[in-house]
Amino acid sequence: MFDQNQLPFDMVQLLDENGNGDEEALQQFSDEFLVTLYKWMRKARVIDERLLKMQRQGRIGTYAPFSGQEAAQIGSVLALEKEDWIFPSYREIAACLAHGLPLTQIFHYVRGHVLGGRTPEHLNIFPIQIIIGAQTLHATGCAWAAKLKGEKQVSVCYFGDGATSEGDFHEAMNFASVYQVPVIFFCQNNQYAISVPVHKQTASRTIAQKAIAYGMKGVLVDGNDALAVYKTMKEAVDSARNGEGPMLIEALTYRLGPHTTSDDPTKYRSAEEAEQWRRKKDPLHRLRVLLEKRGLWTEEKEEAWVAQANDEITAAYEEAVAAETGSIVDVFDYVYGKPSKLLQEQQQEAARRKQGKEVK
Ligand SMILES: Cc1ncc(C[n+]2csc(CCOP(=O)(O)OP(=O)(O)O)c2C)c(N)n1
Ligand SMILES: [Mg+2]
């Protein structure tokens, strides 16, 4: 039988589960950077927990929690330049925020407001993708455009382990490598696609090794180690920016919560399994230990950071609630740059019905 263990895919890790690592390797990260990284991750955790509660209170719609995946998202996004494009799925709320998306936008999105699908003009963040894997093609196209125009922007698509079974993923990988476009395929392998565990998703030992077939570099990184993720992503982005083509990164992580607020994970995995990850491999814990060793963390600071995050959440929520409710007539404006004749007719009909008070 083919022995996949021969393939060169050791996991990149700088900080182990207890916050220890090679001192020399850790010296490359400044105190300021470590605090920024940790504060973002802490804030992301608070936001995720609040959003989950708000869904239970009926304040927002269906929500896909990302707790456990903060290091993968924040670590990777902080390695980008503001001009770089990101193509998120519904799971990457933390990545979107750290790349500049205002929290109010997230509230618009989870409250089903039309504004939630529109990124403010100056931000290079694609709308949140629900169709599994589709954004891999959009990112590849965007990166190809940058290459043709001679621009230096890199495109990063975020997707899950389940997305690697979609044709879109393979088409995007193939095209990106043939045309050597500056795109990074960043897979958050959180080990489940709803109820399907990763060993039922693929027979490959790693997702990273799928890169070999397309003639591109693949790297497996500990997705709960924010420093390893940052370093891996920085190298990938620098090389793509220098014209050295695409890369596939597999960040091995774990979704601590349900797939979405409509899911009950106890139906397909043991509570014990999730608890083990929460207790032993929490991405925040190991970074906090490092910060503490450097004298950068105290309980008071933590409390202040959490309080600040909570205030921001309350303010963003209130701003979103105060926004004028959209009308059914508006949604047609945001489908294409120039609306088709059919859409125009539908919009006119919606306007007529609205006048007749048949719709809102
Ligand atoms: C093309 C397509 N097929 C099926 C679905 C239904 N669906 C929503 S989420 C999901 C699982 C995706 O798992 P993964 O790619 O691992 O991402 P994760 O949710 O774990 O972040 C599926 C099958 C969909 N949204 N799009
Ligand atoms: Mg998954």
Asked if the model's pLDDT at residue 73 lies above 80, the reply is yes
Q: Which ligand is nearest to the CA of 169?
A: 1
**Distance between CA atoms of residues 124 and 116, nearest Å:** 15
According to DSSP, the residues that pair with 192 across neighbouring strands are 197
What is the number of the ligand 1 atom nearest to the C-alpha of 132? 26
CB atoms within 10 A of CB 53: 11
Is residue 279 annotated as part of the catalytic site, yes or no? no
Read off the pLDDT of residues 278-334 as tens digits, 9 standing for 90 and up: 999 999 999 999 999 999 999 999 999 999 999 999 999 999 999 988 788 988 888
Percent of the chain predicted with pLDDT > 90: 90
Is residue 192 annotated as part of the catalytic site, yes or no? no
Instruction: Retrieve residue 146's tokens.
Output: 């940058």
Residue whose token pair is 């230990």: 289
Q: Which of 259, 286, 288, 317 is catalytic?
A: 259
Q: Specify the pTM.
A: 0.95
Q: Which of 56, 268, 294, 352 is catalytic?
A: 268
Using pLDDT thresholds of 50, 70 and 90, give the confidence band for residue 174. very high
Which pLDDT score is estimated for 6? 74
Q: Which of 194, 195, 260 has most ligand 1 atoms within 8 Å of its beta carbon, as the pocket-test mutant?
A: 194
Which pLDDT score is estimated for 292? 97
Q: Which of 70, 89, 96, 132 has most ligand 1 atoms within 8 Å of its beta carbon, as the pocket-test mutant?
A: 132
Give distance in angstroms: CA of 126 to centre of ligand 1.
Answer: 18
**Distance between CA atoms of residues 355 and 360, nearest Å:** 9
The strands making up 85-87's β-sheet, listed across from edge to edge, are: 85-87, 155-160, 183-189, 247-252, 217-222
**Exposure letters 153-166 (e unless 16+ CB within 10 A, then b):** bbbbbbbbbbbbeb
Read off the pLDDT of residues 203-224 as tens digits, 9 standing for 90 and up: 999 999 999 999 999 999 999 9
Using pLDDT thresholds of 50, 70 and 90, give the confidence band for residue 359. low
Using pLDDT thresholds of 50, 70 and 90, give the confidence band for residue 244. very high
**Distance between CA atoms of residues 194 and 264, nearest Å:** 10
**Distance between CA atoms of residues 194 and 85, nearest Å:** 27
Pairing of strands 183-189, 155-160: parallel
Which pLDDT score is estimated for 9? 79
Range 22-42 average pLDDT: 97
Range 37-45 average pLDDT: 98
Asked if the model's pLDDT at residue 340 lies above 80, the reply is yes
Give distance in angstroms: CA of 130 to centre of ligand 1.
Answer: 8
Residue whose token pair is 């998202």: 73
Closest CA to 75 of 211, 253, 239: 253
Question: Cα 19 to chain center, whole Å?
Answer: 24
What is the number of the ligand 1 atom nearest to the C-alpha of 166? 1
Question: Which residue CA neighbors atom 21 of ligand 1 most closely?
Answer: 160
Using pLDDT thresholds of 50, 70 and 90, give the confidence band for residue 341. very high
User: Which residues does a 6 A CB cutoff place in the pocket of ligand 1?
Assistant: 91, 130-132, 159-163, 190, 192-194, 255, 259
Using pLDDT thresholds of 50, 70 and 90, give the confidence band for residue 360. low
What is the number of the ligand 1 atom nearest to the C-alpha of 188? 21
Give distance in angstroms: CA of 162 to centre of ligand 1.
Answer: 6
Percent of the chain predicted with pLDDT > 70: 99
CB atoms within 10 A of CB 70: 30
Question: Which residue CA neighbors atom 17 of ligand 1 most closely?
Answer: 160
Give distance in angstroms: CA of 12 to centre of ligand 1.
Answer: 26
Read off the pLDDT of residues 80-119 as tens digits, 9 standing for 90 and up: 999 999 999 999 999 999 999 999 999 999 999 988 988 9
Contact 19, 290 (CB under 8 A): yes
Using pLDDT thresholds of 50, 70 and 90, give the confidence band for residue 4. confident
Q: What is the DSSP code (8-state) at residue 325? A: P
**Distance between CA atoms of residues 29 and 38, nearest Å:** 12
Give distance in angstroms: CA of 135 to centre of ligand 1.
Answer: 12
Asked if the model's pLDDT at residue 2 lies above 90, the reply is no
CA 247 to each of CA 154, 174, 181, 271: distance values in angstroms, whole numbers, following the listed order: 11, 11, 10, 35
Is residue 108 annotated as part of the catalytic site, yes or no? no
Numbers of helices and strands, H then E, in the chain? 14, 7
